[in-house]
Amino acid sequence: MKNPFTSIRLFYKETLTELKKASWPSKIELRDSTFVVLIATVILGSYVALIDFSLMNGVELLTSWVR
């Protein structure tokens, strides 16, 4: 039977090796990217809220005509 701790140790060692190969952003790049994501989230959220509000009012208008 294979020792599970050997597999865990090997996985941990390989993970650290791969993380050292990765290209990590600088603080400035990270800040700028975070800013872009936040702005995009606000714009997309506003668009979805506007469309939702418009569709809700449109459906209410149509259902008021049917009654």
Domain coverage including residue 66: 24-67
Report if residue 11 sits inside a domain.
no
Question: What is residue 22's DSSP assignment?
Answer: S
Domain count along the chain: 1
Report if residue 59 sits inside a domain.
yes
Report if residue 54 sits inside a domain.
yes
Question: Exposed e or buried b for every residue in 28-43, given b needs 16+ CB within 10 A?
Answer: eeeeeeeeeeeeeeee
Of residues 15, 18, 12, the one with CA closest to residue 4: 12
Spatial neighbors of 33 by CB under 8 A, at least 6 apart, are 25
Report if residue 8 sits inside a domain.
no
pLDDT at residue 66, as a whole number:
86
Query: Which parts of 1-67 fold into alpha helices (H)?
Result: 4-21, 27-66
pLDDT digit string, tens, across residues 9-42: 999 999 999 999 999 999 999 999 999 999 999 9
pTM higher than 0.85, yes or no?
no
